[in-house]
Structure 1
């Protein structure tokens, strides 16, 4: 009882702390979002925003440029779109962690592109922890026998490959489509990809039926 009461007190204490903390949000003071600069607020100091030591494209060891060096400096031709939580166009996802991912596009002549989704493609394989049903009871149940003896085949994710044309006619983009069924009928990112690349791409979806 005391443990439960302490948890309740702790929850109310955390709520009060969260309500009492001042907001650290700040407008950009008229700076254009595309500028390669930023502002930082240091922990433990008086809450005042300071300009980043140098532009993101000028890496002199500061954290801003170091964090994004592979995007803004080392690979200047790489452009990306990052998203989190529920991706656009995918309704009613019920998972412990919603899908998150990155779409990476190269502005170089080869027109390369990649799309990463942090959601696992699971293999459907039952695991039998305990079974004491006698074979006499399952003699006429071939499907049960296969399941109990581990004879159920493992079906890997289905993969198909397609290509799309870009402005570079000699270098089409290869798109790998993964699905948990033989035919992927759901088009993720149709609205986003069509607007960005003016193409329609079918990709793997958790909602395949």
Structure 2
């Protein structure tokens, strides 16, 4: 499929999405203006669907940004009495996320932890039945075993942006500093495919999603 066809498919899928609540549209606009990386709307809707169909109640998100993906997960998890723990290293983004959680009326059921996941993650014990990895791409390998440890059998681990703008597939790196991240993402994908405790599929949604379930 050509790059142009990829764009057409992406736009077609997006046009078929159910109408999004005003808060999501507001967050999308703010993310564009401030150049904050958030998941695409179709990825957000997929996260919602996945958490909903898996009957997820205890969710961990590594990488909050302004809380866009968090609120998609909240749509599935919170109405059934669930809880979300999310962590963010960027102070202004964490404060923006809190603002949106307050606006959405869910701030009391979302625990937002400010700090570095390289430290915070290892202070958590879980268990969780849904973990969403959307942090520094070069850290996915480092976080994998801890995520598996905290995940319940049948739980889901989703890693976002695993194609890294196509560089993981093509091997053509746009900047020298991305070379290590690309190599580590390739390593991550190999690890989750071969890990004895996981079953994994890759989807070409957004910038690539790896979905693993714990046996």
Q: Which has the higher contact order (CA 8 A, sep 6+)?
A: 2
Please state which structure has a larger fraction of its residues in helix.
Answer: 2
TM-score by length of 1: 0.26
Structure 1 or 2, whichever has the larger Rg, is 1
TM-score by length of 2: 0.26
